[in-house]
Structures are given as C-alpha cells and as structure tokens.
Structure 1
Amino acid sequence: MHIGKQYKLVEFLIWTRRDIYWLLGLAAIPTTLYAVLGWKWIAIPWVPIAVIGTAAAFIIGFKNTQTYNRLWEARQIWGAIVNTSRSWGILSRDFVKADASVHSELMLRHCAWLTALRYQLRETRGWENTNKPHFKEYRKFYSIPEWETPLEDELKKYLPESELAYVLSKKNRATQLIAIQSKRLKELRERNQIAEFEYVELAQTLSNLYEQQGKCERIKNFPYPRQFASLTMFFVWLFVFLLPLGMLNEFAKIGPECVWFAIPFSTVVSWVFTSMDRVGEATENPFEGSANDIPMASLSRTIEIDLRDMLDEENLPPPIAAKNNIVL
C-alpha cells in the first residue's frame, strides 16, 4: 500500500516503460511507411478508431471499478480482523481465570494465526500478475515480508516446538491454529477456568475469525473473471494498434512534415489507455504482493503490539516501516 501523497512520475514511467517501448514502435512503423515510402493507403478514417476507443475506455472503467471493489472489500475484511483480534485479546485476558502464561499463550497463538493467514494469502496463483516483467522490475522499490522470511522462522516466535511441528505438517495452517485455540478453550472450560457464558463469547470470536479468513480465501482463490480481463486487453491493444493509422491523415492536413507528430501523440494517448489498464491489473488481486496490496504484515504487527501491550509487556516490537512510501 502506498502511503505517500502520490506516486512519483518517474516511478510510474519505470513501471510502464516496457509498454512505452512497444507504443513507440507501433507508432513509428506506420508513420515511417507513410512519410518515407509513401504508403498513403495505410491511413484510415478517424471515426472507427474513435468508436473502438470509446468501447475500450468503457470497459477499462468497468474493470477498474470492479477491481477497486475487490481491493476495498479486502481492506474491510482486514479491518474486521483488526477489531476482532482486539476483542479476542481483552476477552481471553479477562474471561479466562488463569495465570498470565495462559493469557500469553492464547494471544501469541492468535499472532501465529495472523502470520499463517498472511503467508497463505501471499502464495502465488496462476492468474496473478506478480511474475510479469513490469511487476518484477518495480519490486526494487519495496519489499514483501512474507517472501523474505520463511514461515517457520516467523511462527517460532509464537508457538512451542511441538505445536509448531504439528501446524507446519498441515496444509491450511491458519485453519488448524484456530482449531487449536478452540481445543484449548474447551480444556479451560472443563477445568472451570472459563464460565459458560464467557466460553460462548470466546467461541463466537473464533467463529468470527474463521468467517474473515474464509472471505480472504474467497477473494484470493476467485480471480477477476478472465473473460472481462481478456476483453479489456484485446480492446485496448486493438485501439493502440489502429490509433497511429488514424492520426496520419489528421497531422498530414497541417503539413507534410507534421505527419511525424503522429508518433509522440499516438504514444501519449496510447500510454494513457494502457496505463489505466495496468492500474486495474495491479488492483485486481489485493493479496498477491504488488505495491498496492493490503498491508497485511503491517496490520498484523499493529495487532501484535496491541495484544502484547494488553499483557503489559515492555519490549514491544516496532511498527513495520514503509520503504519508498510503500508498506506491506
């Protein structure tokens, strides 16, 4: 997530520079054929290009609206996780009649759940965009915590060795950690360390966490429909290909030498369309590891700080710092 006022123009140009190279070539080739070789027949009327451009703009707008909705829903889910996590902290501290070690166990296991969940959500899917060259190149501006530190090293901070080995042997680690929490609550209830009403409240909190996890998994495992994504790409690049052909006659009307202006103007107009498409593409998978993703590591650290503070710990971990105004 970018937390600055705006992206710098140079950052945006670096991110889209590969498209710019293609756009320059697509504009330069027909212009050279028209001006140097005299291929006047390649110029086409402006009207059909304008119609295609209108259709492309419409479907780009539709795509960007829908991908933003996916991003915003993901942020709302993690907002709910933050709130429910704080509720878990005070409930496990005040409802469980046990010593501080049990309170710490329940809260640290919850931090382990947060860690396992965000690692699962950062796993790559075939339809995601993180392996595309322009996304790979932009990663030098930020870092993805889940890709830098192994999950086992992170979970060691919160779980005992026996529990850690059990969790790592499972496929869905986050699900199993909630199951362990439920089992632990049942044991405490059988020892009368949790009253019946308080036990129900704690169990309901775990159920709420499962619900939020399921919502995250739904967004992660169901891509923005491929038919809409493909149609957007086809329309945009069809428009980009035809645009220089329509500009040739328009600039030729000013003067024969002005036909070369078709190259920069076609490039700029095409860049606007392709960049809008890239913005939507960078937003459609809010957990994939792009610079515009949900800052799960930062939110998890905020929750951990709050929970440890409830335990009156003194050496609290620092918040995760942004790199180039990007925090994940």
Structure 2
Amino acid sequence: MHLGKTYKVSEFIAWTRRQIYLLLGVGAIPVVLYQVIGLRWLTIPLTVVGLLGTATSFIVGFKNVQTYNRTADAQQIWTSILNSSRFWGICIQGFVLRPDDARDLMERHIAWLTCLRYELRKPMPWESMEKASNAEYTRSYRIPERETSVDEELCKYLSEAELRQILKVGNQATQVLWLQSRGLKRMLDNDGISLTSYIELNKILKDLIEQQGRAERIKNFPYPRQYAIINTIFVWAFCALLPFGLLKEFDLLNQGITGFMQGSMVWLVIPFSATISWMYTSLEQVGESTENPFEGGANDVPITQISRTIERELREVIGETNLPALKQPVNHIIL
C-alpha cells in the first residue's frame, strides 16, 4: 500500500517505459512506410480508429472498475479479520481462566495470521509480479514474506510438536484453526472455560474460517481470463491502428506551414500516437497490477502490517509490554 500523497510522474514513467519504447516503435513503422518508402495508400480513416478507441475505452474502464472492486473487497476482508481478532483477544482475556491457556490461544491466532498471509503471498500463474516492470519496482520496497520463510515465523508462536504438524499439511492456516478448536475443547474438558464461553469462542473461529475463505477466493480465482485477453487485444489493436489513422491528418498539415517542417509533419505521428496510446496501455497496466491484491505489489492490501497490528494488540490484552515494532514504510510503501 502506498502511503505517500501520490506517485511521482518520473516513477510512473519509469514503470511504464517499456510500453513507451514499444509504442514509439509501433508508431514509427507506418510513418517510415508512408514517408520514406512512399506507400501513400497506407492510411485508415480516422473515424474507424475513433470507433475502436471508443470501444477500447469502455472495456478498459470496465476492467479497472472490476479490479478495483477486488482490491476493495480484499481490504474489507482484512478489516473484518482485524475486528474479529480484537474480539478474540477480548474474549480470551475475559473467558479463559488460566493465563497460560490465554497465551496459547493468542499465540495460535498469530500463527494463523502468519500462515494465511504466507499463503496469500504465494505466486500464481496469472499474477503479474514476474513481469519486468513490476519485478524491477519491487526493489524499491520490502515484501516481508520473501525475506523470511514461514517456518522461521511459525516457530515463534507454536510448540515444536504443533509446528511439525502444521508444516506437513497443505492448507496450514486451516490446520492452525483446527488446533485452536482442539485446544478450546481441551480447556473445556479441564474446566479452563465454561460451556458458554466455549460456544462463543467457537463462533469467532467460524467467523475467521469464513474470512479466510473469502480471502482465498480472491487469491485463487483470478479476474476472468476471457475479459483479460479481450482487454489486451482491444488496447493493442487500437495502438497499432492509431498511427495509420493519423498519417493523412498530419500530412494535410504540410499545406499550411513553411520552414524546415514543410513536408515532414508526418513524423509527428510518432510522438502523438505514442502519447495517446500510452494513456490506454497505462490504464491497462494499472488494472492488471490491481487485480491481484495479495501478490506483493506496491498497491496491495498491507496484510503484513495488519497482522503485526493485531499481534501488538493481542499481546497488550494479555499484559505484555515487550511488543513487536510495526514495520516502517520503504519509499512510502508498506505491505
């Protein structure tokens, strides 16, 4: 998540520069064919390009709205996890009779958050973090889940026996909740909590399972691929045809000017077509980088920071004073 006022224009241009290079090349090809080789018939009516541009605007706008909704939904899920975690801390402090039991429940909850965030950070084939522009930009901020392994993190919160059990299963977050449920039953059997408290705490576990499932839905089900490919096709079809539509328009400008640009106005098609096309490709690139809000992009939901906030608050609830420090933004970005 970017915490600054805005991105710098230089940052945005650097992020999209590969598209700019490509667009300049796409714009140069028809100009060379038209102006240098003399293929004067090589033009397209600008109205045809305009119709394609209008259709492209609609489909790009549709994608960006949908991808923004995925990010907003992800943020709402983790806000719910934050609120449920606070309620979990209040309940274990009020319901659990033995301090050691309360600590175990708190530690397992933090372990669940750890497993969930590592699961959500796993790369998927459809995600865009491996693209050159995104991979390059990750050097300017930190992704904590790539700096340490889940094993190193979980050993802080789980016993050795529980850790071994967690690491050998596929869905580790679900396994931690199962351990949590089993721990509650053990406390009930040993008179560590009342039956009413046991029921209430299991209701919170059910809510956490639902929130986990909602987060996994966004992670494991991508923005529909049919919409993604048609968006890319429309954008690049428009970018490829735009220079052909501008050739005759810029050639007509030669009739009204004198000087060194006389007869050479067609060359301006290259920067102007690249600029217009860049607006479309930039919107497409922004939408693509927004559609997967857990992959580790600069604008993703800060699940690591939320987890650390929850850990600090839970430790305060049980009376600890040696709290883990919150992560600090790097270049205004915090995950």
Normalised TM-score (structure 2): 0.96
SS in 1 for 2:41: helix
SS in 1 for 2:264: helix
| Stretches of 4+ aligned residues off by more than 3 angstroms | none
Post-superposition shift, 1:320? 0.9
| Range with bigger deviation, 177-186 or 313-322 | 313-322
> Equivalents in 1 of 2:27, 2:237: separation in Å?
13
Equivalent residue for 2:273, pick from 255, 266, 274: 266
1:94 aligns with 2:94: yes
Give the residue type in structure 1 aligned to 2:274: T
Give the residue type in structure 1 aligned to 2:222: P
> Equivalents in 1 of 2:55, 2:155: separation in Å?
53
Structure 1 residues not aligned, in runs of 5+: none
1:281 aligns with 2:280: no
Provide the residue aligned with 1:244 in structure 2. 243
| Range with bigger deviation, 5-14 or 73-82 | 5-14
Provide the residue aligned with 2:33 in structure 1. 33
> Equivalents in 2 of 1:204, 1:283: separation in Å?
33
> Equivalents in 1 of 2:305, 2:144: separation in Å?
10
- RMSD across aligned positions (CA): 0.9
1:45 aligns with 2:45: yes
Post-superposition shift, 1:94? 1.0
Give the residue type in structure 2 aligned to 1:200: I
Post-superposition shift, 1:257? 1.9
Provide the residue aligned with 1:158 in structure 2. 157
Post-superposition shift, 1:201? 0.7
Post-superposition shift, 1:234? 0.2
| Range with bigger deviation, 318-327 or 235-244 | 318-327
Post-superposition shift, 1:128? 1.0
> Equivalents in 1 of 2:175, 2:22: separation in Å?
48
Provide the residue aligned with 2:145 in structure 1. 146
> Equivalents in 1 of 2:107, 2:192: separation in Å?
19
Instruction: Please say if residues 88 and 205 of structure 1, whose CA atoms lie closer than 8 Å, have aligned partners that are also in contact.
Output: yes
Normalised TM-score (structure 1): 0.98
Provide the residue aligned with 1:327 in structure 2. 334
SS in 2 for 1:40: coil
> Equivalents in 2 of 1:221, 1:241: separation in Å?
34
Provide the residue aligned with 1:199 in structure 2. 198
Provide the residue aligned with 1:55 in structure 2. 55
1:187 aligns with 2:203: no
- The count of aligned residue pairs is 327
> Equivalents in 1 of 2:11, 2:147: separation in Å?
23
| Range with bigger deviation, 4-13 or 82-91 | 4-13
> Equivalents in 2 of 1:37, 1:102: separation in Å?
82
> Equivalents in 2 of 1:166, 1:290: separation in Å?
31
> Equivalents in 2 of 1:247, 1:35: separation in Å?
13
Post-superposition shift, 1:230? 0.3
1:294 aligns with 2:301: yes
> Equivalents in 1 of 2:270, 2:125: separation in Å?
36
> Equivalents in 2 of 1:20, 1:47: separation in Å?
24
1:221-280, Cα deviation, whole Å (9 max, x unpaired): 111000000000000000000011111111111112211111111010000000000111
Instruction: Please say if residues 14 and 138 of structure 1, whose CA atoms lie closer than 8 Å, have aligned partners that are also in contact.
Output: no
Post-superposition shift, 1:136? 0.9
